[in-house]
Structure 1
Amino acid sequence: MFNLSGLTFILTYFCITSSLLGSLEEEPKCFSRFDYEYKVVQKLAELENKQKEQQQTIEKLTNKCSSGADTANEVAFSAYLTGDMTSVQSYRIIIFNEVQINIGEAYNGKTGIFVCRTPGVYVFFWVTTNKDRTYMNTDLVVNGDECSQAFSDSGGQNDYSVASNVVITELKFGDQVWIRSGAWHNGNLAGERRTSFSGWMLYRR
């Protein structure tokens, strides 16, 4: 990331020094006091115009650096499970196949894995739904390590049950995050966009 205050100082110092040196080297030749004062005023006007141009250049560079940093921080996704899953094995990655938003293209709707491309602190939120006497526990996993769980259980009822959880974690470049089935479940998970996975960056590190 650019140090904008340092960049501004260097450019300003260079511009002022160049202007002063140019003034000394191009001292006007005068034939009278009036002629001398006129040419001095001319030179001051030229220096003022150069200073304005240099200030505009500094502002453009500053804005360019700032806009580049803001763009790098734009990471967010939201994905859903469209169809019911049955006979789910333990520790299987849940693929949320319908990706509605994917700013930064960090989540892959074909593999179900989020890959960090911008180091920072992230928030991940997921919802699981079960229906009609089924149950499912899921884990949020970072680089193969379980971070947290959610458990939804319809029990003995012909009804829906919902569970959710949220995790805040710091990620480095290349870190991977996904949702998987846990060890205690009967292999069923409801779709119809009732089961979802979302994430976004809080701030860059």
Structure 2
Amino acid sequence: MLAVCKVVVLFGSILLLVGQNGFAGANRVDVLRGQQCTQVCNTPAQSGACSYTFVVPKNEKDPSCQSSPSAQILTEMKRDVKKTSDKANRLRHQFSRYREDRELSNAIMRKEIVNATARMEIRSLEHDVKVKNLEIQLLNQTLQLERLKRKNEELEKIVLMSEVDLIQMRDVHQTVDHLNEVVTTLQTRLNEVSQLLTGQLQEMLSGQLGIGHPPGGFPPAPGALSAQPQSAFSAARQTKMYGSIPPQRIGFDKIFVNEGGDFHHGNGTFVTRVPGVYFFTFTIQSYDGKFTNIALVQNGREQVTLYTEDDDRNIMQSQSIMLRLATNDKVWLQLDGGTHHAILSFHDNRITFSGYLVYAKFS
């Protein structure tokens, strides 16, 4: 008899008991009609790890039990068991695939997390590199600013020195002008004294000797300044000028003084009328970004020059010289050739050229 009943199915007048046989230790199905077990035929079935035995009433007409209703029920049960087993296998297979897909999805997610973390670290490193580059650029700009400050201080010192030199040069020019005025005043007074003495001498001679004035009057006293010839000029240029090939003379468009008419301002040439010793001076302002090379020329030969580099600022410089000149000697200022040479001036007369006779010396 059965130890434990698992399933009880009532099909018509047939009672199905599914359980575990205590004697055989295997799963079996007993088909009972009423309360008694009739003669049965055993039909085993295998499903997975379980083994089933179907016990049905024996049909005397058909010993194989295939055509009995119990056999049909068993066949349907086998079919149901097979479907259930197949469904369980499919479910296990689907669960296995689901688990594999889940593991693959988790692996992909972990990989994406690792990649995202790596990208964030790379971005952080790139940001650090950019910050370092900005710090380096800031340091370079700071150093460059310091260099510019030092250069600016040096330029301010140079400008201050240039201004001091310019002031000193102006003082020198003022002193020279003052001395010229003093010399002119002394010459005038000496001429007056000489004329007075000459007149008194003539009167004394006339009174003592009883003679009149000689025809044409008496000659001037020796050393009388009124007999010394005069030659002096001072001119200015009020426009800029560029160099050309060949080098050209510097012309002047404003005349301050031209005693004796020896200076020709159109081509800036002084032609000696009175031989002797002359003093010449000239002042030039450079053109920013251009070279300045000015020469004082005597009869085609350079005597002194004035030179500046192509600086970014304008510089004023002066040059002076004394020359012994003969009659018809020519003196002029000449700008060196090439368009990279230039001088600058405006209406305030920044380019000047002056000269005068110190003393005459006839051969």
Alignment TM-score, normalising by the size of structure 1: 0.66
Q: Which structure has the greater CA radius of gyration?
A: 2
State the match for 2:344 in structure 1.
Answer: 190
1:178, 1:124 → 2: CA distance?
10
2:345, 2:268 → 1: CA distance?
15
Report how far residue 112 of structure 1 moved: 1.1
| CA RMSD across the alignment | 3.0
Q: Structure 1: which 5+ residue stretches go unaligned?
A: 1-11, 13-46
Matched ranges for 1:158-177 at <5 A = 159-177=313-331
1:121, 1:147 → 2: CA distance?
15
Matched ranges for 1:1-205 at <5 A = 49=207, 51-54=209-212, 57=214, 60-63=217-220, 66=224, 69-70=227-228, 72=229, 74-153=230-309, 155=311, 157=312, 159-183=313-337, 186-192=340-346, 193-205=349-361
State the match for 2:101 in structure 1.
Answer: none
1:108, 1:64 → 2: CA distance?
34
1:89, 1:187 → 2: CA distance?
11
Comparing 183-192 with 91-100, greater Cα deviation is found at 183-192
Q: Percent identity?
A: 24
1:201, 1:190 → 2: CA distance?
29
SS at match of 2:336: strand
Q: In the comparison of the two structures, how many residue pairs are matched?
A: 156
Report how far residue 168 of structure 1 moved: 0.7
Higher strand share: 1
SS at match of 2:354: strand
Runs (4 or more) in structure 1 with deviation over 6 Å come to none
Higher helix share: 2
2:241, 2:217 → 1: CA distance?
53
The structure showing larger relative contact order (alpha-carbon pairs under 8 Å, at least 6 residues apart) is 1
Call closer, same or farther: CA 1:92–1:129 in 2, change over 3 Å: same
CA contact (8 A) 2:248 2:337 kept: no
